[in-house]
Structure formats: structure tokens, C-alpha cells
Amino acid sequence: MNSIALLGQPNSGKSTIYNNLTGSRQHVGNWAGKTVEKNEGSYTYQGTAYTVTDLPGSYGLSGNSDEEIITTDFIRSGQSDLTVVLVDASQLERSMFMLAEFARLEKPAILVLNMMDVAKGLGKSVNADALEKKLGIPVLPFNATDTKDYDKLKKRIAAALQSPQTLSVTPPAAQSDVQADSQAKFDWVSELLSGVTEKNDKVFKMSKFDRLMTKPLLGKLICIGVVLLAFLVAMIIMIPFMSIGSIIPELLHDPVDSLLTGWNVHPWIVSIFSTMLPNVLYFTISMASFVFGVNIVFGFLEEIGFLARAAYQFDGLLSKLGLQGKAICPMLMGFGCTIGGACGTRVMDNWGQRMLAMSIVWAIPCASIWSIIPVISGMFFSWWQTMLVCVGILLYVVITMVVVSKVFSRKLAPKESRSGMIMELPPYHKAHWKHIIKEAFFKAWDIFRRALGTVTLVSILFYIFSFSKDGNVDNSLLYRVGTFIEPVTRFFGMGWQTFMAFVSGAFAKEAVLGTLNAVFMGNNSLLDATFYAKTAPTDAAMLGTAMTQAISPAEALAFMFATTFNIPCLMALSTTYKESHSLKWTVKVAAFYICNALVLSCIVYHIAALFM
Amino acid sequence: MKLTETTADTQGRIVKVDGDDHFMNRITSIGMTEGTAFQTVRNDKHMPVLVYLRETLISLNRADADRIEVEV
């Protein structure tokens, strides 16, 4: 089998070339023992099969980041027969740095001068033949966006594999000190480029739009606006999939119920298959379709170069939390949905900071919370008091973020290893929709496949706990445990009813109202309440009357804060786990949030009880 | 002077870059080495510094920009 590897800096057009070469024959995995994504694909050219490994993008190979170590080891090992080195022809002097790094590995290669069209547009000419003579390996002028160029590329690859060539030019001499070493590489590049391309000493002028985008206040407002719009678009993309998903529980309930009952299956088992599993499927479909939508809008914003501008705008603010500017988009996305926020952190390059960003995103109340808080608050308080509750929640969001950062940043992003933002603001690009949609689909499918298992498992556990023979809440294990530990939960400000709603909120925030309905009105089983939350409407007025008679305003207030700042829903938890690949950290952060919610509830309850 | 002390549209040369190996690898691989000609594009309070060098627009966080000595 012929095996090639793609090597290039960020923004060199590497993923575009990878996608166009391999089409749908791609496989996404992880590098052994690392959290770095491994992309492998294949294609056939003139009857011969080729495998392509997309090496992780980095600016150099000398650093000790996971990406650089993986790349260096892979090339050294000789697992690929040929390395295709990509450079940006419009920024040749800087991007050839990668070739200088590669030269030291002394392996067969061809050089692809990508973005020749952009270089031409800037009035730069590159003499590929002259460069080829100097280097001693094939040099191919290329436009990654031009589909006609790929035939030439495949032909060159095939020829190079027949008679592999290693750089004939001597690699830059190694220096002991990093500064001198990099200097030697850039000198090596300058030497090679003399007579190949002319130096450009023009004064740089920002485009009109960029001048607005980089203004301190206006730029931030534009960013917030664009992300809110992006959230809306993600929702619109999600709607058709979700509507199909929402039919599943209704469609399956009756036929499955009558079929299994007809087979004399015990009703307890029947309800697992007729009520729980179809709803698990529906939840997971909703989640995956939202991930799909989020990945499309984020992929688009990243590819056109918008994310880099947003990161520039918010870097100063976020560095105080131990994060980079790149975290801003997932954080704003979190106001819509924590799942979206968690998977949006994929734009960050450092694992520790990424995990930290996800744990901070958890503190941001999602749209579901914003939809239940006013309803509950409205039962106990007047409109202006409800406004105050919302303001209080927002204030506590900031406090939680700071505390989470203080608690976890020491391990996840220690000051000395914290890498501040050093990034390129690439020129605005056109988006390649096919590639974006394909990648979003892969992500969504992956999340769906893996989350289905987790969600089913936890749902079954919840089923066992909430199970009661006659469907009455009072006979469930949860009730028994709930009333048994009520003296403890009472200390934290919650009676068994609100505590149960608090627990179900960890499942899905939408379930909170349904659970309250079940425990206070007693007309619904807890299981149905949790799993039918999205389909069975709750009569807020009736529930309000029942609740205000049963619990004090102080308890209601404590409950609202506890629910808002508890762990996000099960789907968000499972997304965080899948995205971080770390069960240990997901559990750690979850434990922190549960404690935080209980302590907060306790404080709010006891202070509020003094005044109410 | 430091890179953070330059104003928009100043042109100059990087004189000294200082830091641990991790930082040096990151900063030099993107093109910021001693002797490199640069142009400050934007330098606003509490914001990263925007510089143009080696035909690339680079955003550099303030703490790191503070470690770069330049002459104009």
C-alpha cells in the first residue's frame, strides 16, 4: 500500500487538500495515548490505492507540544512513504519554516506551493522551477480550491512514490539555543528564496471591515451579535432533525406497548421499551442534531477567518480566567446550549485549556434554564422580584466562573505552561461548504453513536430509582431515599420534593417543571414526568398554587439557584466526556458543580429565610 | 523600547525576544525572530497587539508582547 502524509502549518490549506483528496473515505480517531485527533483517509488513482495521513497542524516541529511530537515521531518512523509538505505561496518566507524543520528529518518529500492565486493577486511571482532545482525534490504550484489541480497533484505523488527524492540541499545547522536555531532556519529559507520570489516591503493596510472588527468596543459588539446569530442558525439547522426525532416517542409508545403487553411482558419492562428508550433516542437525536448545527456554523466562522478576530477581541478579558481569546465563542454559545458550548471548544489547541473552558461553560445558564426560572419565580414573586432573581443569577455566573478557574486552572492550565494567544489573523477566505457539512456530519454522528450508550445506561439507573409498582411517587426508591435524607437536604434548603426536582434537573433542565408537577400534584409518575417533559405541558397556574402552599419562598429561591448552578444536563455531561476523552476530569468537575450548587442553596436558603 | 510601547503604523525591527524554550519555540516558529522587520497595526489598551511581519498579520497577547524589545 502506498502511504503519504500531509504536513503544513495552520491556515496552509491542509484540511482542504486532505478532504479533496480523500472525499468520503475518511476515518477519524485519536493518536495512541494522546488527545489529538488522527485523520486518515484513502483514494485510488489509476487503479492504485493510496492512504493519506493528515498530520496535526503546528507552526514548527521543535517544540514539545503533543502535535509536534506526534508529527516528528510519525515522519521519523517511516510509516509513510512520502511526505507532502504544504506551504502558503502568499506568505512563502514564513511558511517555508516548516520545510526547514522537515529538512532535518531527511525523508522523501514533495513540496506543494498552495494559494498561488492569492500570491498572484498580491502581485507576487514564485519561480517553482528554480526552487525545485535548489531543493532537489518536486515542487508543485497549486490552488487547493481549484478541483482541476488535484489530478496534477495525484500524478506527482504517484511519480514521487516511484522514485522517492530526499532534499538535496543541506538542512539548516542545529544551534543549541532556540532563538539562534530558528534564526538559522529562517536564514536557510531566505537563502533558498533568493531568485525564486521577490521580497515585499509594502506597508500593510487593514481592510475596511477589519478596521471595524478590531475596534475595542465595536468589534466586541459585532462578535456578540454574530455569535447570537450563529446560535439562531444552528437552531434552525437542528429543527428538521429534531422534529423527526420528536415523533419517535409518540410513534413508538402505543405500538410497542400493545405489542409487548400482548406478549405478556411485565408492564415494568414494557415501560422501559415503550416510554424510556424511545425518549432516550429522541434526546440523543436532538443533541446530535444540535451538535451538527453548531459544527456547521462554527466551521463556517472558523474557515472564513472570523473566529480569529473574535479571539483577538476577547483575549485580554479571558486571560484573567486562564483561558485564551479563542474560548469566547463557545462561552457565548453556552447561553444557548451547554452542549453547543462544550463542542465549540474544539477550536482551542491546548487540551488543558480546552477542559478548563468546558468547565467554565458549564456555569453559563442555558436557554432551558432561562425558560424555567421565570416560571417558577413567577409563582412566588412579583415581576420585579423575578427580574432581581435573574440579575442575581447572572452575578453568580461570573462568581462561579472565577471560582471554577481558581480551583481547576492550577492543574489544567498552570501559569507556567499557560500559553498566551499567539495567532495569525488570516485574510478572509471563502467557505468550502461541502467540507464543512461533511465534517459537521462526522462529528454529530460520532457524538450520537457514543452518547446513546451513556444516556441509556444512566436512564436505566434513573428508572430503577424512580420506579414504583403503582406509578405513585410515594412508592419509589427515590422517594424513600429522598425522605430519608430530607433532614440533610433540608439543611441545604430543599425539602424532598424540590430535591427530587433538583436531581431530575441534572437529567434535563426541561424535566424540572414536569418533576415538580409529579411530586406536588401527584398525578403523574416520576418517570413519565422526566421523560415526557418535552411533550406533556405543565399547567403552571395550578402547579403554582400547589407549590406556594407546600413550600416557602426561601426554599423556592434556594431551589432556583441550586438548579441553575448544578451540573448541566446529562447530554452536556456526556458531550464533555466525549470531547475531553477524560472521564476523570468530567467527574471531578461534575462533583465540584454538585457541591457548589448545594452550598449555594444552603447559603441562599438561610439568608433568605431571615427576610422572608 | 518594548513592542507594547509602539503605536499603530510604527515600523521597526525586533531587537530581542526573551523567554523559556516553550515560549521561544512558539514565538519564533510564527516568524518573530531577532532582526525581523515589523509594522505595528494596532495597539489598544487591554487588547493583544496586532503586528504585521513576514507578510502575515499576527495577534500577540500583551504579556508575551511585553517580552519583545524593538527599535523603530
Residue A139's DSSP bridge partners are A111
φ/ψ of residue A509, rounded to 5: -60, -30
The Cα diameter of chain A in Å comes to 88
- Total residues belonging to chain B: 72
Option in A204, A319, A427 nearest B39 (CB)? A204
| Percentage of the residues of chain A whose pLDDT score is greater than 70 | 94
pLDDT at A583 over 70: yes
Residue A151 included in any domain: yes
pLDDT of residue B35: 92
Substitution target from B21, B55, B64, B69 for chain A, most A beta carbons within 10 A: B55
In this structure, the answer to whether residues A36 and A70 fall within a common structural domain is yes
Chain B residues whose beta carbon lies within 8 Å of the beta carbon of residue A313:
47
A422 inside 8 A of chain B by CB: yes
Tracing cell 516553550 back to the chain, one arrives at: B22
Report residue A483 as a C-alpha cell. Answer: 425522605
In this structure, the answer to whether residues A363 and A314 fall within a common structural domain is yes
B54: left (phi over 0), alpha (psi -120 to 50) or beta: left
pLDDT of residue A34: 67
- A458-473 confidence digits (pLDDT tens): 778 777 877 777 666 6
Residue A532 pLDDT grade (very low, low, confident, very high; cuts 50, 70, 90): low
In this structure, the answer to whether residues A282 and A409 fall within a common structural domain is yes
In this structure, the answer to whether residues A272 and A224 fall within a common structural domain is yes
Residue A209 included in any domain: no
CA distance A307 to chain B (A): 12
The CATH number assigned to the domain holding A39 equals 3.40.50.300
Residue A425 included in any domain: no
In this structure, the answer to whether residues A183 and A42 fall within a common structural domain is yes
In this structure, the answer to whether residues A227 and A100 fall within a common structural domain is no
Across the range A381-389, mean pLDDT stands at 90
Nearest Cα to Cα of residue A531 among A455, A591, A451, A454: A455
Task: Decide: pTM greater than 0.90.
Answer: no
pLDDT at A534 over 60: no
Residue A292 included in any domain: yes
CB contact under 8 A, A182 and B58: no
pLDDT at A71 over 90: yes
Give the end of a domain, one of A360, A394, A414. A414
pLDDT of residue A463: 77
pLDDT of residue A137: 96
A264: left (phi over 0), alpha (psi -120 to 50) or beta: left
φ/ψ of residue A9, rounded to 5: -75, 165
pLDDT of residue A360: 96
For A9, name the nearest residue in chain B, comparing CA atoms only: B30
Option in A200, A317, A419 nearest B55 (CB)? A200
pLDDT of residue A524: 54
Option in A204, A216, A426 nearest B47 (CB)? A216
In this structure, the answer to whether residues A252 and A392 fall within a common structural domain is yes
In this structure, the answer to whether residues A294 and A389 fall within a common structural domain is yes
Option in B17, B41, B61 nearest A206 (CB)? B41
The Cβ of residue A400 has, within 10 Å, a number of other Cβ atoms equal to 22
pLDDT of residue A231: 78
Among A433-442, A576-585, B8-17, which range has the highest average pLDDT?
Answer: B8-17
Label residue A489 exposed, middle or buried (CB < 10 Å: 0-12, 13-18, 19+): buried
Whether the CB-CB separation of A576 and A358 falls below 8 Å is answered with yes
pLDDT of residue A414: 76
Amino acid identity at B3: L
Residue A439 included in any domain: no
Nearest Cα to Cα of residue A268 among A477, A522, A468, A518: A468
pLDDT of residue A416: 66
In this structure, the answer to whether residues A584 and A482 fall within a common structural domain is yes
Residue A158 included in any domain: yes
A106: left (phi over 0), alpha (psi -120 to 50) or beta: left
In this structure, the answer to whether residues A134 and A226 fall within a common structural domain is no
pLDDT at A175 over 80: yes
Residue B34 pLDDT grade (very low, low, confident, very high; cuts 50, 70, 90): very high
Residue A181 contacts by C-beta under 8 Å, 6 or more apart in sequence?
A: A62, A172, A174, A175
In this structure, the answer to whether residues A188 and A220 fall within a common structural domain is no
Residue A203 included in any domain: no
For B46, name the nearest residue in chain A, comparing CA atoms only: A316
Chain B residues whose beta carbon lies within 8 Å of the beta carbon of residue A93:
31, 54-55
Whether the CB-CB separation of A355 and A592 falls below 8 Å is answered with no
CB contact under 8 A, A316 and B34: no
- DSSP for chain B reads -BGGG--TT-EEEEEEE---HHHHHHHHHTT--TT-EEEEEE--TTSPEEEEETTEEEEE-HHHHTTEEEE-
Amino acid identity at A132: E
Tracing cell 406533556 back to the chain, one arrives at: A536
CB contact under 8 A, A204 and B29: no
| Percentage of the residues of chain A whose pLDDT score is greater than 90 | 37
CA distance B6 to chain A (A): 16
- A391-449 confidence digits (pLDDT tens): 999 999 999 999 999 999 888 887 766 677 888 898 887 787 877 888 788 778 877 88
Domain region containing A28: 2-193
Across the range B43-64, mean pLDDT stands at 92
Q: How far apart are CA A516 and CA A508, in angstroms?
A: 13
Among A478-482, A518-522, A529-533, which range has the highest average pLDDT?
Answer: A478-482
Domains annotated on chain B, with CATH: 3-71 (2.30.30.90)
Number of domains in chain A: 3
- A195-213 confidence digits (pLDDT tens): 888 876 678 888 899 999 9
Q: Which residues of A6-41 are buried (b: 16+ CB within 10 A; e: fewer)?
A: bbbbbbbbbbbbbbbbbeeebeeeebeeeebebbbb
Residue A432 included in any domain: no
- A227-270 confidence digits (pLDDT tens): 888 878 888 888 898 888 888 888 888 888 888 888 988 877 88
For B55, name the nearest residue in chain A, comparing CA atoms only: A91
Whether the CB-CB separation of A234 and A294 falls below 8 Å is answered with yes
- A119-164 confidence digits (pLDDT tens): 888 888 899 999 999 999 999 999 987 888 999 999 999 999 999 9
In this structure, the answer to whether residues A103 and A183 fall within a common structural domain is yes
pLDDT of residue A236: 87
